[in-house]
Structure 1
Amino acid sequence: MSPKEYLAIMHCIAGLKERTRHAWMKSGRQESVAEHSWRMALMAYFLRDAFPNADLTRVLLMALLHDMGEVFTGDIPTFEKTDADRAREHALRDTWIESLPPPYAAEVRDLFAEMDACETEEARLAKALDRMEAVITHNEGDPATWLPLEYDLQRTYGIEEAAFSPVLRALRTEVNHEVDAVIASLTKEEKI
C-alpha cells in the first residue's frame, strides 16, 4: 500500500470522529461514532476471559469498523432506520471496502459478511456490545435528552442480542438496574 493510499483510508475513517450519534455524553455534547466504537472495543477487551474461544482481534476489528457505513450516511437512530436506510448504508460501505487495496479489501469484506450473518461467537458478541454500549451511554447522559420512546427502549434494546451468553445476560441485567435508577431519579415532570 502506498503512503497516499494509506492516508486516503485514514482520512476516510476520520469521518467516524465527525459523525455524531443519537446519544449525549455526560458533558452535554453528542457522542461521535468513533467514541462509541472505541468504547465497544474496550468492552470486548475487558470481557475476553468470559469468551476464551473467541478471536479477540477479530472482535476488536468488528467493534472498530462496524459502523463504517455511517461515515457516508451519518447515524440514523435504530428506531428511525428503515430497510432502505440499511441498504444504502451497506452499499456505500461495500463500495468503500472494494476501494481498499489488497489484502485489506478481502479481509474487511469477510469481516462485514461475518458481522452481517451474525452467526459466529465473535459477531454475536460484537452485536450485543454494540447495543449495550448505546444503552450505557444513554444512562450516563442527561435523561432530558431521551425521547419518550427511549424509556422503554433503554430497558429492552439489546436484550435479545445478549441472550446467547450468561455473562452478557448478567451484564445487561445490571445495565437495566442503572436504567431503572436513572428513571427513578427523575421527577414526574421530567419523565414527560
Structure 2
Amino acid sequence: MGALKRGKRSGWWIAGVKDPETIAEHSWRTAVGGSVLAMMEGADPAKVALLCTFHDTQETRVGDIPWIGRRYIDVARNEDVTADQVADAHPAVAAGIKAIVDEYENSDSLAEWQRTCLR
C-alpha cells in the first residue's frame, strides 16, 4: 500500500495535468467522498470506505493503466493480483481483502447502492 503514494495517476497525464495526484491520494479522497455519500444515502459508510480503500491496491503490481490502455493489452484480473498480494498474509486478512476486492470488482454492492440512491 505504501507504494501507492509514489505512483501518479496516469489518466491525468493523458488529460494534460502536469502534476497529477498519486494513487494513494486518489484512494483517500475516494474513501472520504464515498463515506460522505453513503451517509447521505443511508448506506454503510464504513463498508463504502473499505471498498474505496482497496479498489486500486492492485496498482502496486501493475501500475495505473488508463482505461483506454486496457483495450490494447492483456492485464491480469484485479482479483488475481489481489490473491497474489495477500498470498502470505494471515488467512483472515487474506480472506477479508479478497472478499472486499471481489465485491468491488463484481459490483456486488452496486444493486444495493442503486436502490439506495434511487429512493
User: Normalized against structure 1, the TM-score is what?
Assistant: 0.51
| Structure whose residues are more often helix by fraction | 1
- The one-letter code sitting in structure 1 at the alignment partner of 2:8 is T
**1:73 is matched with which residue?**
62
Structure possessing the higher radius of gyration over alpha carbons = 1
Question: Structure 1 CA distance, aligned partners of 2:112 and 2:66?
Answer: 20
In the alignment, structure 1 segments of 5+ residues that lack a partner are 1-12, 126-161, 168-192
Aligned Cα RMSD in Å?
2.7
**1:49 is matched with which residue?**
39
In the alignment, structure 2 segments of 5+ residues that lack a partner are none
Task: Indicate conservation of the 8 Å contact 1:20/1:74, yes or no.
Answer: no
Pairwise CA distance, 1:40: 0.5
Decide which of 6, 9, 12 is 1:21's aligned counterpart: 9
- The one-letter code sitting in structure 2 at the alignment partner of 1:100 is A
Task: Indicate conservation of the 8 Å contact 1:38/1:64, yes or no.
Answer: yes
Query: Within the alignment, does 1:95 sit opposite 2:84 as a pair?
Result: yes
- The one-letter code sitting in structure 2 at the alignment partner of 1:31 is E
Task: Indicate conservation of the 8 Å contact 2:7/2:63, yes or no.
Answer: yes
The 5 A counterparts of 1:1-192 are 13-22=1-10, 23=12, 28-52=18-42, 54-82=43-71, 84-87=74-77, 89-121=78-110, 165-166=117-118
Pairwise CA distance, 1:34: 0.5
**Percent identity of equivalent pairs:** 26
- The one-letter code sitting in structure 1 at the alignment partner of 2:6 is E
Question: Structure 2 CA distance, aligned partners of 1:61 and 1:118?
Answer: 14
Pairwise CA distance, 1:50: 2.8
Taking a change above 3 Å as real, the CA distance of residues 63 and 124 of structure 1, as seen in their structure-2 partners, is farther
Post-superposition, which runs of at least 4 consecutive aligned residues in structure 1 deviate over 2 A? 48-51, 89-93, 164-167
User: Normalized against structure 2, the TM-score is what?
Assistant: 0.78
| Structure whose residues are more often strand by fraction | 1
The number of equivalent residue pairs is 113
